[in-house]
């Protein structure tokens, strides 16, 4: 949002404001190929990863918007890439520092990045604890804490001063899923998967829609339940 604001001020209009998200999505497409290569994929696998990232319907929509999900995704995937470099050679302090930087920027961009970062952090911590000296692991952890706080402390302090909490309780209540049950979680997963399953063929899309409705009937959940769709 800060970058969008600067572009708006510089142009004295909203002419350039979508470029933040557009460039982030472009970065995600390239980073997906890099991550696939690090995981052992060949050229075909790398191309498939890029095509998958480039054809995500939500990514295409947001690339022309001012939403920040693409930016958060870029920082997360780059942090994951640095985590793989660190796993390959634990002596790489540069990879550890870049991993901490990517995580810090993702956390600053959007709070929904937190679960992804926690999972990534747990994976790296487990790898270091099992395979390498604890002193090195503690050193990396301390560095990560310093980097994350250095990037986020000012913002979190302002939020706490304004709302009495690092995150606005009202916004959390507005956007969180209120139906935290197995059926509610399954409903979200099914609808999110269907969102990315769109095709150019109306009959296929209609069949997908009918499957989603049928699945919700089996779950006993309204697909438009306000507790999961707000």
Question: Can you give the pLDDT at residue 31?
Answer: 94
Exposed, middle or buried: residue 14 (CB in 10 Å: 0-12, 13-18, 19+)? Answer: exposed
Question: Based on C-alpha coordinates, what's the Rg of the chain?
Answer: 20
Task: Return d(Cα 24, Cα 166) in angstroms, integer.
Answer: 26
pLDDT of residue 132: 67
Q: For residue 209, what are the contacts with CB-CB under 8 A and spacing of at least 6? A: 194
The predicted model gives 195-216 an average pLDDT of 89
Burial code of 182-214, b = ≥16 C-beta within 10 A, e = fewer?
Answer: eebeebeebbeebeeeeeeeeeeeeebeeebee
Instruction: Output the CA–CA distances (angstroms, integers) from residue 14 to 70, 110, 123, 129, in the order listed.
Output: 19, 22, 41, 49
Distance CA 65, CA 60 (A): 9
Tell me the three-class secondary structure of 93-125, residue by residue.
Answer: HHHHHHHHHHHHHHHHHCHHHHHHHHHHHHHHH
Q: What is the pLDDT of residues 183-201, one digit of tens each?
A: 888 998 999 888 888 788 8
The verdict on pTM exceeding 0.85 is no
Averaged confidence pLDDT in the chain = 87
Q: For residue 203, what is the enclosing H or E element?
A: helix 202-219
pLDDT greater than 90 at residue 32:
yes
In percent, the amount of the chain with pLDDT more than 70 equals 97
Highest mean pLDDT among 101-105, 123-127, 172-176: 101-105
Are the C-beta atoms of residues 30 and 73 closer than 8 Å to each other? no
Q: How confident is the model at residue 128 (pLDDT cuts 50, 70, 90)?
A: confident
| Residue 138 binned pLDDT confidence (cut-offs 50, 70, 90) | confident
- Average pLDDT (115-121) is 87
């Amino acid at each position: 949002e800060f970058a969008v604001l600067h572009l708006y001020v510089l142009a004295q209009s909203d002419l350039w404001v979508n470029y933040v998200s557009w460039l982030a999505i472009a970065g995600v497409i390239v980073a997906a190929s890099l991550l696939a290569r690090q995981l052992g994929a060949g050229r075909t696998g790398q191309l498939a990863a890029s095509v998958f990232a480039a054809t995500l319907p939500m990514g295409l929509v947001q690339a022309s918007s001012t939403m920040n999900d693409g930016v958060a995704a870029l920082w997360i995937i780059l942090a994951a890439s640095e985590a793989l470099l660190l796993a390959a050679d634990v002596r790489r302090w540069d990879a550890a520092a870049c991993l901490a930087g990517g995580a810090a920027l993702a956390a600053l961009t959007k709070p929904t990045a937190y679960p992804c970062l926690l999972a990534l952090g747990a994976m790296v911590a487990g790898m270091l604890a099992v395979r390498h000296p604890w002193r090195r692991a503690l050193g990396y952890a301390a560095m990560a804490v310093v980097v994350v706080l250095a990037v986020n402390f000012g913002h979190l302090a302002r939020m706490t001063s304004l709302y009495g909490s690092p995150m606005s309780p009202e916004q959390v209540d507005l956007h969180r899923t209120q139906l935290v049950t197995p059926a509610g979680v399954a409903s979200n997963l099914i609808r999110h998967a269907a969102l990315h399953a769109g095709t150019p063929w109306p009959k296929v899309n209609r069949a997908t829609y009918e499957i989603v409705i049928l699945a919700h009937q089996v779950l006993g959940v309204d697909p438009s339940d306000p507790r999961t769709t707000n």
